[in-house]
Amino acid sequence: MSLMETKEEDVEVFSRVLRPLVTVLETDLISLVRNSAKWAKRSLLHRLNFVLTKSLASVKSISTNLNDLEETGESKVSLSSLISFNKSNQLAMVRDL
Of residues 89 and 24, more confidence is placed in 24
Measured CA to CA, the distance from residue 31 to residue 22 in angstroms comes to: 14
User: What sign does the CA torsion over 11, 2, 80, 85 have?
Assistant: negative
Structure confidence by residue, pLDDT tens digits, 13-62 = 767 777 777 777 788 878 877 777 666 566 666 777 777 777 777 777 77
Max Cα-Cα span within the chain:
50
Measured CA to CA, the distance from residue 65 to residue 27 in angstroms comes to: 17
**Is pTM beyond 0.75 here?**
no
